[in-house]
Amino acid sequence: MATATAPNRRKSRLNRQGRAAHVFMLPWLVGLIGITALPTLASLYLAFTDYNILSTPEFIGIANFERMLADDRFWQSVRVTLTYVLVSVPLQLAFALLLALILDRGMRGLTFYRSAFYLPSLLGSSVAVAVLWRELFGHAGLINQALALVGIEGSSWLQNPQTALGTLVILNVWTFGSPMVIFLAGLRQIPEELYESARVDGASVLRQFGSITVPLLTPIIFFNLILQTIGAFQAFTQAHVVSGGSGGPVDSTLFYTLYIYQQGFTAFDMGYASALAWVLLVFIGAMTALHFLLSKYWVFYGD
Amino acid sequence: MTTHLVAPTAPTTGPAAGAPPRRRPRRRARSVARHAGLLVFVAFMLYPLVWMVTSAFTPESEILTGPLIPEELTLENFVAGWNSLTRPFWVFYGNSFVVTISSIVGNLFSCSLTAYALARLTFKARNAYFGIVLVSVMLPMHVLVIPQYIIFSQFDLVNTFVPLVLPKFLATDAFFIFLMVQFIRGIPRELDQAAAIDGAGPFRTFWYVIFPLMRPALVTTTIFTFIWTWNDFFTPLIYLTDQSVFTVPVALSSMVDAESNSGIGMLLAMSVLSLIPIMAFFAFAQKYLIRGITTTGLKG
């Protein structure tokens, strides 16, 4: 009997821990099933239905996806979103890296500069800053006042389909502070000895940058790139506030998320909106996977 | 996925410390130039915010024509904005605080419990559960929002705070679970074992040993939940349609929609008011905030 109890006791301890673990995880498990898993499956199903919240969902196969192919506003929102991501994210990261390099290595006032540059990131996603942007770039806004001082006649940036998206790109670039803070932390990780021995070997500053700083920073660049890209794909507030929810003028700021919102919560075409949302999910997933695949060729992990 | 990517390190001493004295003047000139350049850039970056604040105190008619520093300060924009919707603005403030504080409590409660189980208790399928946490971190909310809306509206919970707050009590911000798991893994196991020898079960070990030691992770969670919830626009926009339950961002946005040409000052005044809690938080929690970003890569 004594020989049998030892493993049993261990097993019962495991059972006890298992029970306790599930009690600890109960809130999360309930949320996982009720608020994440079931809605995910439900939205996958709804993507294949015609559903306007009042009627019961009617299964229509891939009709929603066929509709997308012929939907000009869908393609417009894809174009707007891709332009926004591909222009604003690289610019934002370039600013972040440049400023991090300038601020690097224990310069005086580092804390002040870091906070000052971080502040826009902190506020950038708020409605208040979107309101501010409306007033800055509006017809009688501050930007045109400033341009008038140097004799340039401004246009109404937000009413012009050529420039409206540009103002939102500027807003995203303006929030370069948070990737900058991450770059700063990454730069500190690079051992000073590497630079010292490079100097001893007579390497120029440019050479040091190309052969030490950039390679050792690639994991951080990669990380920031993924994070900011995923964030930019899901941008919503700025476009909604600046265009008054329309994505205008002439759909020039029709972010993909804004189009989902319009279809789902203005037109209550929830089947189509779910299909749109799944396309976004698959696209972000594919994009992230691609980033990871490509990272093999340019991201340098020291070991 | 990223907690250990960047670890904060002790501040490095400047390279100037060991520099030979003869190079000092040139170095100083360069440093002055660098500071001058940076300060100009800071001013350029922050000018819109400064303009927002000064305009809020400027009489409506002078905002876009007068000098930057108004000749006389006025509170008329605040008075006009405060009462421009069917409820006074403090209602929206109150709503925002209720939602934000409940969300913080919810995240601290649910995520810490889950994280403890995943980090410390031994049970079947633990790794599978942890994998699910990681996957759900990456799930964009737009995929979930429509079915969630349908569920909450079936239960007649539209125009209540339940759809905004309940998910936090159910640990749907899985990122914080991940953050806390990584943190708990760094706490020495000897402490748990000592508690176990003293007869403490998992619950008492969690409450008396682990939870108090998790403070830095809890602070980071609090800060980011505060900022995200206070600024959140998408969720309240969908669930709150009645002005009596509006949070500050939705109220602001509906002021924009109703904007006449004479409303700029009022809009900016209310925008300034809406940012005050974030700015105050930033001022007090700055140190922790920067530490939080550098250890987690989170965006404010």
**Partner-chain contact B300 A284, CB within 8 Å:** no
pLDDT at A59: 94
- Region B60-70 average pLDDT: 71
User: In the predicted model, is pLDDT for residue B261 greater than 60?
Assistant: no
pLDDT at B61: 76
Ranges of chain A with pLDDT below 70: 1-11, 13-14, 105-106, 302-303
Give me the residue from B132, B267, B300 closest to A131, CB to CB.
B267
Locate the domains of chain B by residue range: 28-74, 88-296
Contacts of B78 (CB under 8 A, 6+ apart): B56, B269, B270, B273
User: In the predicted model, is pLDDT for residue B298 greater than 60?
Assistant: no
Cα–Cα distance for residue pair A47/A68, rounded to 1 Å: 12
Torsion (CA) B109, B111, B113, B114 in degrees, nearest 10:
160
- Name residue, tokens 């196991």: B189
pLDDT at B11: 41
Question: Measuring CA to CA, how many Å separate A129 from each of A120, B46, B48, B53?
Answer: 9, 12, 9, 12
* pLDDT digit string, tens, across residues B158-195: 999 999 999 999 999 998 999 899 889 888 999 988 99
Contacting B residues, span 70-109, partner chain A, CB-CB under 8 Å: 109
Closest-CA distance, A99 to chain B, in angstroms, reads: 9
Cα–Cα distance for residue pair A245/A264, rounded to 1 Å: 13
Interface contact A93, partner B, CB < 8 A = no
User: In the predicted model, is pLDDT for residue B289 greater than 90?
Assistant: no
Interface test with B, best of A55, A111, A127 (most B CBs within 10 A): A127
pLDDT at B7: 38
pLDDT at A154: 74
Cα–Cα distance for residue pair A179/A167, rounded to 1 Å: 20
Contacting B residues, span 148-167, partner chain A, CB-CB under 8 Å: 148-151, 153, 166-167
Q: Terminal CA-to-CA distance of chain A, rounded, Å?
A: 52
Contacting A residues, span 220-239, partner chain B, CB-CB under 8 Å: 220, 223-224, 227, 230-231, 233-234, 236-237
Interface contact B40, partner A, CB < 8 A = no
Count Cα neighbours of B157 within 13 Å in the Cβ-side half-sphere: 14
Question: Measuring CA to CA, how many Å separate B242 from each of A126, B88, B116, B236, B271?
Answer: 21, 14, 39, 11, 20
Tally of CB atoms within 10 A around B257: 9
- Region B287-299 average pLDDT: 68
CATH number of the domain located at residue range(s) B88-296 in this protein: 1.10.3720.10
**Partner-chain contact A116 B113, CB within 8 Å:** no
Contacts of B69 (CB under 8 A, 6+ apart): B54
**Partner-chain contact A17 B151, CB within 8 Å:** no
Residues of B in contact with A25 (CB under 8 A): 113-114, 117-118, 129
Percent of chain B with pLDDT over 70: 86
**Partner-chain contact B123 A102, CB within 8 Å:** no
* pLDDT digit string, tens, across residues B97-156: 999 999 999 999 999 999 999 999 988 889 999 999 988 887 888 889 999 999 999 899
Locate the domains of chain A by residue range: 2-46, 71-298
Task: Provide the token pair at B275.
Answer: 């940012």
pLDDT at B10: 40
* E strands in chain A: 49-50, 58-59
Residues of B in contact with A17 (CB under 8 A): 121-123, 202
* pLDDT digit string, tens, across residues A158-210: 888 889 999 999 999 999 999 999 899 888 888 889 999 999 999 998 899 89
Report the top-level CATH class of A71-298: mainly alpha
Residues of A in contact with B2 (CB under 8 A): 223
Q: Are B179 and B134 in contact (CB under 8 A)?
A: no
**ipTM score over 0.90, yes or no:** no
Closest-CA distance, A269 to chain B, in angstroms, reads: 10
Confidence of residue B270 (pLDDT cuts 50, 70, 90): very high
Confidence of residue B1 (pLDDT cuts 50, 70, 90): very low
**Partner-chain contact A128 B271, CB within 8 Å:** yes
Q: Terminal CA-to-CA distance of chain B, rounded, Å?
A: 18
**Partner-chain contact A105 B12, CB within 8 Å:** yes
> Residue A32's closest chain B neighbor by CA?
B172
